[in-house]
Structure 1
């Protein structure tokens, strides 16, 4: 169950808090191939299981940007903010991919509401996500992501 905030004001009050850890998500070869088709990035390390078997990871791996693009699905099991007229991506301050995500591995995210600020079009929130790779010491991704939200 995601942590539910009944309003943007309630969400704002959680600034500085860890919002929680989400559910596990399995990264499949079908997802990797679909992402490769969408982005045009068909590097063998992502889409060629035979060649990748003798590569540095012993299997195909997810694109770093695929891992990052899974934040919406990973975040939906962490938190929910009700009463929004809009919530949009505004950008990212910092993104790192310390660990590869092998095909069929599981990832999940922990989110921390780092900062909240008023801006002319709404409320800017900065959330730090740490995407954990099951069984690994290092995370798959650490991203400081910025969103703009506006109350309904």
Structure 2
């Protein structure tokens, strides 16, 4: 499926209850894990110490931080939906987020998204998007949840 172009509430509305698509796969590297650990001050050895993770960890290698996998959603989301004519977008919330499976270093993940609900709140568009971060070669996803975005489109003059 190719990238969907959205420029208005009406464009979004036609996808209510439908699958929007999936992103390309993205490889989670040890460098990305380490940089995330530095940025968030989370240097837990299961993420940042490959030798110890191989010897003592239950996963056999380092794993990505759960919040790292969540933080790449904007990058993956933009591969699925391109929103044009936008004044501003706000991340409004996350509902029912569940981390279902650890993401091992060098795993490839992709975002699968469907539009759960869309509402026009006096010009602010509230989009509720069901998301699943799939891990290549695995049956269980890294996480599932509902992301809520608020979109403010430019008014037509």
> With structure 1 as the length reference, what TM-score do the two structures score?
0.95
- Backbone CA RMSD of aligned residues: 1.2
How far apart in 2 are the matches of 1:80 and 1:12?
15
How far apart in 2 are the matches of 1:109 and 1:65?
14
Offset at 1:118? 2.4
How far apart in 2 are the matches of 1:7 and 1:119?
13
Worse overlay, 57-66 or 78-87 = 78-87
- Matched length: 152
Gaps of 5+ in 1: none
Match of 1:43 in 2: 44
Residues 15-56 of structure 1 show CA distances to partners (whole Å, capped at 9, x for unaligned) of: 111100110000011111111111111110000000001211
Moved over 3 A (4+): none
Q: CA contact under 8 A between 1:11 and 1:81: conserved in structure 2?
A: no
Gaps of 5+ in 2: none
Match of 2:64 in 1: 62
Aligned match of 1:96 in 92, 95, 98? 98
> With structure 2 as the length reference, what TM-score do the two structures score?
0.92
